[in-house]
Amino acid sequence: MLRQIISQAKKHPSLIPLFVFIGAGGTGAALYITRLALFNPEVSWDRKNNPEPWNKLGPNDQYKFYSVNVDYSKLKKEGPDF
pLDDT tens digits, one per residue of 37-66: 887 777 777 778 777 777 777 666 666 666
What predicted TM-score, i.e. pTM, was given to this entire model? 0.60
pLDDT tens digits, one per residue of 1-13: 889 988 988 999 9
**What 3 state SS string does 13-75 have?**
HHHHHHHHHHHHHHHHHHHHHHHHHHHCCCCCCCCCCCCCHHHHCCCCCCCCCCCCCCCHHHC
Domain ranges of the chain: 1-74
